[in-house]
Amino acid sequence: MQKKIETVKTLLEALPFIKEFNKEIVVIKYGGSAQTSPQLKEKFAEDILLMYLVGIRPVIIHGGGSKITEMLDALSIETKFIEGQRVTTKEVMRIAEMILSGEINKDLVSLLNSHGAKAIGVSGKDAHFITAKAKDFAKWGLTGNITNVKAEVINNLMAEKFIPVIAPIAAGDEMGHPGFNINADLCASYVAKAIGANKIIFLTDTSGVLDEDKKLLDTLTKAQVKKLKSDGTIHGGMVPKVDACLEAINGGVKKAHIIDGRLEHSMLLELFTSEGIGTQIVK
Ligand SMILES: Nc1ncnc2c1ncn2[C@@H]1O[C@H](COP(=O)(O)OP(=O)(O)OP(=O)(O)O)[C@@H](O)[C@H]1O
Ligand SMILES: [Mg+2]
């Protein structure tokens, strides 16, 4: 009996947060680094389902850079990065689309649906809802910068109670264009801005943004981000992530968090407890 009372107490503790986020849109960037074990993926699916069932409207954007690199290696195609961004030749674009839209997206959609969700997978090419142009074709090929997000596509899916799962691929404007490979972190923030998300959460493979002594920074401002980037404390895959957080909060998203995807139920800890976890980027 005591145990049951504890369960009820726990539920009641979450009540203010459930109220706060009722009908709010929460965008989740599910990093490739956080998708490592089948067990973690199960927990992720449970968290999304719980969020959905208490009235939150989740929208998922997934990454998958390491799987693209794995496949390129298997096919003996060279992987090249310039300034942390993948060089996307036409051949690499084909593989990126196969892995992102074909494999990872469908895996994630199936996983969520097998848990009882109504998830639907799309990429920016579906209904042409994300368009891009080349960042610098001579340098990065088909790696794109987003030029437009048609919010109504995602809004319509949410209105029909779907959980949209988005692969970070954009359509090009010209007829027959192979499309663009876009950074998943920035894709998440552009989508979050366009659909008026309340919150954006980046699930990754560190406890958050770490300082030079590897200590977790629980809050970061724009000025701090600038400094940590310029002295190299924030580097590699963390650069687009903090940029994406700033992009989101400048675009009207209320809160941006970078949290540990290796930690079971980290999203629920962030959403439904007063302490929160990871790093919060503030205006
Ligand atoms: N100051 C920092 N604090 C924490 N991590 C950092 C920092 N600077 C760089 N990093 C690196 O950023 C990585 C996270 O970005 P990464 O792009 O690898 O993952 P992801 O975005 O979650 O996955 P994917 O790119 O596949 O979607 C960390 O594993 C770490 O190596
Ligand atoms: Mg990344």
Does 197 map to a domain? yes
Please tell me the distance between residue 207's alpha carbon and the centre of ligand 2 in angstroms: 14
When pLDDT is averaged across residues 185-201 and rounded to a whole number, the result is 98
* Residue 98 domain boundaries: 23-281
Average pLDDT, the chain: 95
Does 16 map to a domain? no
pLDDT bin (cut points 50, 70, 90) of residue 36 is confident
For position 133, what pLDDT does the model report? 97
For residues 29 and 244, the answer to whether their CB atoms sit within 8 Å is yes
* CATH code of the domain in which 244 resides: 3.40.1160.10
For position 168, what pLDDT does the model report? 98
When pLDDT is averaged across residues 58-79 and rounded to a whole number, the result is 96
Residue 62 has pLDDT above 90, yes or no: yes
C-alpha distances (whole Å) from 271 to each of 31, 126, 130, 199 are: 18, 30, 28, 10
For residues 130 and 149, the answer to whether their CB atoms sit within 8 Å is yes
- Please tell me whether residue 259 adopts helix, strand or coil conformation: strand
Condensed to tens digits (0 to 9), the pLDDT of residues 118-176 reads: 999 999 999 999 999 999 999 999 999 999 999 999 999 999 999 999 999 999 999 99
Q: Where are the beta strands (DSSP E) in 161-206?
A: 163-167, 169-170, 180-181, 199-204
For residues 163 and 115, the answer to whether their CB atoms sit within 8 Å is no
Does 7 map to a domain? no
Q: Which of 45-54, 77-86, 106-115, 151-160 has the lowest mean pLDDT?
A: 77-86
For position 35, what pLDDT does the model report? 84
pTM of the model as a whole: 0.96
Give which of 146, 134, 132, 64 is closest to 98, Cα–Cα: 64
Does 12 map to a domain? no
Ligand 2 is an ion; residues with CB less than 5 A from it: 237
Residue 283 has pLDDT above 90, yes or no: no
Residue 276 has pLDDT above 90, yes or no: no
Does 5 map to a domain? no
Does 46 map to a domain? yes
For ligand 1, pick from 100, 206, 242 the residue to mutate: most ligand atoms within 8 Å of CB. Answer: 206
Condensed to tens digits (0 to 9), the pLDDT of residues 4-33 reads: 898 898 889 999 999 999 999 999 999 987
Does 4 map to a domain? no
Q: Which of 184-188, 217-221, 269-273 has the lowest mean pLDDT?
A: 269-273
For ligand 1, pick from 205, 215, 216, 258 the residue to mutate: most ligand atoms within 8 Å of CB. Answer: 205
- Number of domains observed in the structure of the chain: 1
Does 8 map to a domain? no
Using the structure block, give the residue that is written with the tokens 């390491």. 66
